[in-house]
Amino acid sequence: MPTNVGPEDRIVRIIVGIVLGVLAYLQVLPGIATIIMWVLAAYFLLSGLLARCLFYKIADIDTSIQEQPYSTTDDRAGL
């Protein structure tokens, strides 16, 4: 699967994964919520580190594509 997560998105995912992992480790929420936080933390860390997101693939979203800078060359002149 090709990469589909851009650099800014990767940083956010890694930070969210670390925060969720710390909160799960500290057991801020009881019971099943802690397990869900562990799973989400692992998913965000892995998708941030590998730059691949399964949900982006399903929704056909690609944040790794950067906009090309505006070109001042006029290609319509036929030169």
pLDDT in tens, 20-57: 999 999 999 999 999 999 999 999 999 999 999 999 99
Instruction: Please determine, for residue 70, whether its predicted confidence score (pLDDT) is greater than 70.
Output: no
Question: What angle in degrees, to the nearest 10, is found between the helix axes of 7-25 and 32-50?
Answer: 150
pLDDT-based confidence at residue 1 (cuts at 50, 70, 90):
confident
Q: CA-to-CA distance for 65 and 79, rounded, in angstroms?
A: 29
72 pLDDT exceeds 90?
no
pLDDT of residue 65: 77
